[in-house]
């Protein structure tokens, strides 16, 4: 992290995480009484996204730490649950929705960890099978060089049997986690893409080989792992490039150690296009064959998506026929035309993913009813 401006809410100054981060950064900080003191300078800057990536606000999560993934009604959702640890990211991916989702985008790290742990205790007490991840509004592991809290979460999840934690990242910040007694209740997962897209559209992320090596270390340490091909970008020669990544993946990682693989093609809201064009002059990802989807996002023309998905799925199945593969936010027609079935025929997508988590992570569903 290259933080040049540090803000700290006045009511979190004495919390352990705030103290530790201020000490580690060792730069002057401004005590915040009103959020406008943080947002206004970022919004007025020449490039709010770039300024926001260098601006850190240590604050309190005043909402729910545990919340359902927003999803959309028009597409099949996996019923994921979010553990809301912070917002925005220091890496710089062209397609990242967070560039236009937050107004303005600012790095926030929630330091009221006692409240987070209480929320998790309430979840665990229900003994309900759940899949929880921290990577919805930020990368799960970018904060580790600043405040290594993932280990605390891994220890906490290791002490129960009904819920699994997924830490999704494009970093390789995992070495300090390898010797932990994780009890298979944490999945370490990586977003993957082709070398072409990583080079042009995923600035400041770990290289593909580095991600594979980190995943291999995780498997050797007994962790379940997962991978997310999302967003996949359709460009000339992409078919061979994605097949190559998939082949390399299964050469390095045994298929039976993979909990799931998600697939999703590039989609974006219209207001993201000018941001990408301005900030990524080498990127061409917004110039494909797009049409507005049911959720208002621009998506590749459906027949084009289906043809592409069929190729990807066929290649995965030729190497790893039993690995759990699913779509992130696609409709029944795309599922049927690509997989030959719809999630409903298999009990629903949440059931499919829960079942895979049960097998790989040793989860038990002992939900308590009141």
Domain boundaries, the chain: 65-86+126-361
pTM exceeds 0.85: yes
Backbone angles phi and psi of 301, in degrees to 5: -50, 130
State the greatest distance between any 2 C-alpha atoms of the chain, in Å, as a whole number. Answer: 58
List the chain pLDDT tens, one digit each, 370 residues: 899 999 999 999 999 999 999 999 999 999 999 999 999 999 999 999 999 999 999 999 999 999 998 777 778 888 899 999 999 999 999 999 999 888 889 999 999 999 999 999 999 999 999 999 999 999 999 999 999 999 999 999 999 999 999 999 999 999 999 999 999 999 999 999 999 999 999 999 999 999 999 999 999 999 999 999 999 999 999 999 999 999 999 999 999 999 999 999 999 999 999 999 999 988 999 999 999 998 899 999 999 999 999 999 999 999 999 999 999 999 999 999 999 999 999 999 999 999 999 999 999 876 644 3
Residue length, the chain?
370
Ramachandran region, residue 236 (left: φ > 0; alpha: ψ -120 to 50; beta: rest): beta
- pLDDT of 367 reads 60
- pLDDT of 73 reads 73
CA distance 271 to 170: 25
Q: Element (H or E) spanning 131, and its range?
A: strand 130-133
Distance of CA 66 to CAs 16, 111, 132, 219, Å? 21, 15, 8, 27
Distance of CA 217 to CAs 171, 176, 207, Å? 13, 11, 16
CB atoms closer than 10 angstroms to residue 59? 23
Closest residue by Cα to residue 90 from 113, 108, 102: 108
CA distance 277 to 330: 26
Closest residue by Cα to residue 215 from 204, 231, 228, 203: 228
Which residues neighbour 172 within 8 Å (Cβ) at sequence distance 6 or greater? 206, 210, 211, 213, 214
Which residues neighbour 345 within 8 Å (Cβ) at sequence distance 6 or greater? none
**What single-letter DSSP state applies at residue 73?**
T
Q: How many contiguous H segments (helices) and E segments (strands) does the chain have?
A: 13, 18
- pLDDT of 144 reads 95
Task: Describe the chain by its helix, strand, coil percentages, rounded to 5.
Answer: 40, 20, 40
CB atoms closer than 10 angstroms to residue 354? 20
CATH of domain 65-86+126-361: 3.80.30.30
């Amino acid at each position: 992290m290259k933080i040049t401006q540090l803000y700290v809410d006045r009511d979190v100054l004495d919390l352990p995480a705030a103290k530790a981060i201020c000490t580690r950064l060792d730069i002057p900080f401004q005590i915040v009484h009103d959020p406008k003191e943080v947002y206004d300078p970022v919004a007025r800057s020449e490039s709010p996204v770039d300024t926001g990536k260098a601006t850190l606000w240590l604050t309190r999560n005043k909402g729910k730490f545990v919340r359902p993934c927003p999803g959309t009604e028009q597409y099949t959702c996996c019923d994921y649950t979010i553990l809301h640890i912070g917002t925005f990211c220091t890496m710089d991916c062209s397609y990242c929705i967070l560039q236009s989702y937050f107004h303005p985008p600012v790095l926030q790290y929630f330091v009221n960890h006692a409240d987070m742990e209480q929320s998790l205790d309430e979840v665990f007490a229900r003994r309900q099978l759940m899949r929880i991840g921290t990577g919805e509004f930020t990368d799960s592991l970018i904060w580790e060089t600043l405040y290594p809290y993932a280990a605390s979460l891994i220890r906490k999840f290791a002490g129960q049997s009904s819920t699994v934690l997924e830490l999704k990242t494009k970093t390789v910040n995992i070495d300090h986690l390898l010797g932990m007694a994780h009890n298979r209740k944490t999945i370490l997962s990586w977003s993957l893409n082709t070398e072409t897209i990583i080079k042009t559209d995923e600035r400041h992320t770990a290289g593909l080989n580095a991600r594979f090596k980190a995943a291999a270390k995780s498997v050797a340490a007994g962790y379940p792992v997962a991978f997310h091909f999302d967003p996949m970008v359709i460009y000339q020669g992409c078919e061979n490039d994605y097949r190559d990544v998939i082949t390399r993946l299964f050469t390095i990682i045994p298929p039976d150690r993979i909990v799931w693989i998600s697939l999703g093609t590039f989609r974006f809201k219209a207001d993201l296009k000018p941001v990408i064009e301005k900030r990524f002059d080498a990127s061409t990802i917004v110039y494909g064959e797009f049409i507005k989807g049911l959720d208002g996002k621009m998506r590749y023309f459906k027949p084009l998506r289906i043809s592409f998905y069929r190729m990807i799925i066929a290649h995965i199945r030729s190497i790893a026929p039993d690995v759990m593969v699913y779509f992130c936010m696609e409709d029944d027609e795309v599922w049927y035309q690509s997989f030959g079935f719809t999630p409903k025929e298999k009990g629903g997508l949440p059931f499919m993913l829960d079942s895979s988590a049960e097998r790989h992570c040793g989860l038990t569903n002992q939900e308590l009813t009141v």
